[in-house]
Amino acid sequence: MIDVAAAIIEKEGKFLIGKRKKGNHLENKWEFPGGKIESLETPEECLIRELKEELGITIEVGGIVAERIFNYSGKEIRLLGYRASYISGEPILNAHEEIKWISAEELNKFDFAEADLIFVEKLKRGLDTNVRWVKRGIKMPERELFRDRIHWAITLLASALGSCNRLLISSSAEKNKRIVGLSYNGSLPGQPHCDDVGHHMINGHCERTRHAEVNLISNTDEEKLKDSHVRALGTPCLKCLKDLAGVPVAWIEYTGYYNNQEFQPTPEMIKEIFGEDFKLLHRDIDWVELFQEIFDRLSGPGGIFNRLGYRIKLVKEPLEK
């Protein structure tokens, strides 16, 4: 899957659109500017970089507007649209034939690339991204987005089972919309846990535990793991990446940084060892928002908290160090 991000940039009630250059693929179609998300880059970082490169402008990226997965000439593409505010810079024409600031009423006058029509529709309805899905029921593509969040939530919960409290991490594998593997870091089967007998430190690493990714590989049928989408907590180390690349899994996403010291991957190393197409992406996740959305849904019609008659309200409080 190829990940592409687009920015719906707003300035004084108008939105920035660009016409694709002649000779380019989809020439003369209008689009919301953006580009391909690189390895180890968040969609937000990608948009800031692309808008600097393509139009020479500085933006601030806000919340997600829509996500869409579609097939384009046999390739699966995931398009993520984000709201953004214009900060500075006079737009220049590097990658576009023409650009325009237009109001939502003018959207109909332009011939948009098909993939961008989802944003056009959203803009016509007014960007109601603050309305929770709970209120209007979950529809496509929000359902895809929601499944992604549920799978992250499941992955996170599994980390609490980790038995080495130097690091509680977990990973999961998704294939055909289902979780086919779930694991956390822990001791070998039948061996004592760090929690009970202490860590076994060698060169700054606890060698008693097996990394979550290694457990994922050994606990999941190879057929299921092959071409799956792996989610991981913490930056995967180079050793685990190599094992996952060997399966091979389709792509890997991780959230939350972890320093693996001498086994820490860098974008250069990834390219050199695993090749250009290896996909390791970082995701920023607001866990309070994520779990609140899940709990809100469960306080809505048919949800367990609805039947129990209460809602759960999450609060983020900084830890006292």
Nearer Cβ to Zn ion, position 89 or 267? 267
Minimum separation from the CB atom of position 159 to Zn ion (A): 14
Nearest residue (CB) to Zn ion, 107 versus 164: 164
**Nearest approach, Cβ of 41 to Zn ion (angstroms)?**
21
CB of 149 to Zn ion, least distance (A): 25
> Which lies closer to Zn ion via its Cβ, residue 263 or residue 287?
263
Window 38-77: residues binding Zn ion (CB under 5 A): none
* Site membership for Zn ion, residue 237 (CB under 5 A): yes
3-state secondary structure of 165: coil
- In eight-state DSSP terms, residue 261 is G
Check the CA dihedral 281-282-287-292 and report its sign.
negative
Query: CB neighbours (10 Å) of residue 74?
Result: 5
Residues 185-214 contacting Zn ion, CB under 5 A: 194, 199, 206, 208-209, 211
Positive or negative, the CA dihedral 123, 128, 132, 133 is negative
Region of 64-72, 107-115, 136-144, 156-164 interacting with Zn ion (CB under 5 A): 156-164
The nearest distance, CB 210 to Zn ion, in angstroms, is: 9
232 scored as a contact of Zn ion (CB under 5 A): no
Say how many C-beta atoms besides its own lie within 10 A of residue 165's C-beta.
Answer: 11
Nearer to Zn ion, 145 or 216 (CB): 216
Nearer to Zn ion, 202 or 315 (CB): 202
Binding region for Zn ion (CB under 5 A) out of 4-12, 110-118, 236-244, 304-312: 236-244
Amino acid type, 40: L
HEC readout, 276-315: CCCCEEEECCCHHHHHHHHHHHHHCCCCHHHHHCCCCCCC
Contact 8, 65 (CB under 8 A): yes
CB of 313 to Zn ion, least distance (A): 35
How many chain residues interact with Zn ion (CB under 5 A)? Answer: 10
* Residue 229, token pair as written in the block: 């989408």
Residue number, 81 or 162, with CB nearest to Zn ion: 162
Residue closer to Zn ion, measured from CB, 20 or 208: 208
Q: Which residues pair with 182 in a beta bridge?
A: 172
Number of alpha helices (DSSP H) and beta strands (DSSP E) in the chain:
11, 16
Q: How far is the CB of 208 from Zn ion (least distance, A)?
A: 5
Instruction: Tell me if 31 sits within 8 A of 51, measured CB to CB.
Output: no
Q: Cα(115)–Cα(64) distance, rounded to whole angstroms?
A: 16
Q: Which of residues 238-297 bind Zn ion (CB under 5 A)?
A: 240
* Residue 229: CB minimum distance to Zn ion, A: 18
Closest approach of Zn ion to the CB of residue 155, in Å: 15
Q: Give me the least distance between CB of 191 and Zn ion, in Å please.
A: 11
Which tokens hold the place of 41? Answer: 């880059």
Site string for Zn ion, 161-190 (x = CB under 5 A): ---x-x------------------------
Based on CB atoms, which residue is closest to Zn ion, 61 or 212? 212
Report the residue number, 55 or 194, with the smaller CB distance to Zn ion.
Answer: 194
Question: Helices 238-246 and 212-219 sit at what angle, rounded to 10 degrees?
Answer: 20
Cα–Cα distance, 267 to 318 (Å, whole number):
31
Rounded to an integer, what distance in angstroms lies between the CA atom of residue 158 and that of residue 212? 10
Which residues are at the interface with Zn ion (CB under 5 A)? Answer: 164, 166, 194, 199, 206, 208-209, 211, 237, 240
